[in-house]
Amino acid sequence: AQANIGVIGLAAMGSNLARNLAHHGNTVALFNRHYSRTEKLLAEHGTEGNFIPAKTMEEFAASLQRPRTAIIMVKAGAPTDAVIKQLEEAFEPGDIIVDGGNSYFKDTIKREKEVRAAGFHFVGCGVSGGEEGALNGPSLMPGGTAESWKTLGPILESIAAKVDGEPCVTHIGTDGAGHFVKMVHNGIEYADMQVIGEAYDILRRGLGLSPEAIGDVFADWNKGDLDSYLIEITADILHEKDERTGKPFVDVVVDRAGMKGTGTWTVQTALEFGSPVTGIGEAVFARALSSHPELRQAAQDSAPAGPNNAITVGDQATFIEDVRRALLASKIIAYSQGLNEIEDGAKQYGWNIDLGAVAKIWRGGCIIRAKFLNRITDAYTNGHPAALALDPYFAKFLADAQESWRRVIKAAIDAGIPTPVFSSSLAYYDGLRSKRLPTALTQAQRDFFGAHTYGRVDTPGVFHKLWAEQNRPEEQQA
């Protein structure tokens, strides 16, 4: 046995990950259900490093040093279960099975339990960065036992993206913690993309700027606090012309955004915890709204009344700076909410997750990589804010930005341009700032119609008012 690591599933992600492993001095055992994919990888890239192809799972197991370590990169769901089963038959207790697919974290928790009971280590590992990341350095979010991290850690560190010499991987926590954090990461990515879309829309429909001019604005923003992969590619996209028509490329793309489900999982999970991830939620629903052509057509046909989208400003440069601040403020809120969901998940599932370390490994390799993640790491290294938005650095930014933020939202509302994440993020911020919320009234209503009880501001305890019998004193319950 010569291989120190194996990869199962050699489609786009698996073959790139296998090559990345080989490029970093690992000897990589290869297995794919249909051997043709293995042959293709060897034919095209076999000279890039040490690969040991296997036609059967038994051959694959025999080519691996113990404890065997294999990364599964197949379709999430039933295919992953099928491969785990085969591995349990071919491997021996103590070996490490890694699932690098986009698995739902609850499946990972369940699988980890079952696979551990059979004597193996099971690591659900979030892999971010798409095909390019898999090849040149992904951001990796492994869960599983601390013991499996001892063997797996150095291998993952060798292939992860590097920022300032530090690998973008850390042991997130036990069982499903890695896939959980990867899920929230994807949710944050939805919000991050949506706030960029809202800024674009305000500049396009509101100010009437061309895609090219907006591309210049984004390229400029990319030099400051917003420096990030998503802002960078936005500038590139807006500068791009369609080859066929010569029009701005963005104008020939159908305005329906697809989704593969991780954003939805993030929101569903947040709903289970009661975690207010309004930014991610609005971003998921914004894509959902875009993807109802019949509904949108019916609305167009009935031509609902509203303003014509034009925003008149005194000084354009000043307003564009307001939009930049509104974007960054909304982005900070979305991250703040997402990180709080991770904390809620950690509490729920008994994980010990270091949010500073999480922000650090998102700095490279993944889609949300951004300079401002350094600030998030600092926030959680220097203290433990109840929310990122309350960390002194971010709180000051929000305080300074809020007037711009409000001006932009007001302008968008007056012009009839929807800004679901900008607006809901500001509502969240104002909700946090409020000494008293109207939920006092909500709770009184609940007590009125459902005897759901209420707490008093002046006396501890649980109360219920006998609403129908006005003259009787209120009753205190246990």
Catalytic residues: 182, 189
Burial classification of residue 19, based on how many CB atoms lie within 10 Å of its CB (0-12 exposed, 13-18 middle, 19 or more buried): buried
The least distance separating ligand NDP from the CB of residue 63, rounded to whole angstroms, comes to 18
Q: What b/e sequence results for 306-343 when a residue is b if at least 16 CB atoms lie within 10 Å of its CB, and e otherwise?
A: eeebebeeeeeeebbebbbbbbbbbbbbbbbbbbbbbb
Does residue 39 bind ligand NDP (CB under 6 A)? no
Closest residue by beta carbon to ligand NDP: 101
Q: Which of 24, 33, 45, 446 binds ligand NDP (CB under 6 A)?
A: 33
Residues 6+ apart with CB under 8 A from 253: none
Which is nearer to ligand NDP, 84 or 334 (by Cβ)?
84
Does residue 84 bind ligand NDP (CB under 6 A)? no
Does residue 45 bind ligand NDP (CB under 6 A)? no
The least distance separating ligand NDP from the CB of residue 8, rounded to whole angstroms, comes to 7
Q: Which of 53, 67, 101, 345 binds ligand NDP (CB under 6 A)?
A: 101
Does residue 14 bind ligand NDP (CB under 6 A)? yes
Which is nearer to ligand NDP, 182 or 325 (by Cβ)?
182
How far is Cα 124 from Cα 101, in angstroms, rounded to an integer? Answer: 8
In the numeric block, the tokens 């711009």 are attached to 404
Q: Which of 74, 87, 214, 217 binds ligand NDP (CB under 6 A)?
A: 74
Burial classification of residue 116, based on how many CB atoms lie within 10 Å of its CB (0-12 exposed, 13-18 middle, 19 or more buried): middle
Does residue 42 bind ligand NDP (CB under 6 A)? no
Which is nearer to ligand NDP, 83 or 169 (by Cβ)?
83
How far is Cα 32 from Cα 37, in angstroms, rounded to an integer? Answer: 7
Does residue 131 bind ligand NDP (CB under 6 A)? yes
Q: Which of 127, 284, 359, 411 binds ligand NDP (CB under 6 A)?
A: 127
Does residue 82 bind ligand NDP (CB under 6 A)? yes
Task: Let me know: does 8 contact 73? Beta carbons within 8 Å.
Answer: yes
Does residue 178 bind ligand NDP (CB under 6 A)? no
In this structure, the number of other CB atoms found within 10 A of the CB of residue 304 comes to: 7
Alpha-carbon torsion, ordered 288, 292, 293, 299, to 10 deg: -110
The least distance separating ligand NDP from the CB of residue 81, rounded to whole angstroms, comes to 9
Q: Of the candidates 365, 372, 8, 374, which has an alpha carbon nearest to the alpha carbon of residue 157?
A: 365
The least distance separating ligand NDP from the CB of residue 48, rounded to whole angstroms, comes to 18
Does residue 10 bind ligand NDP (CB under 6 A)? yes
Tokens describing residue 66:
């113990």
Chain positions contacting ligand NDP, by CB under 6 A: 9-14, 32-34, 37, 73-76, 79, 82-83, 101-102, 127, 130-131
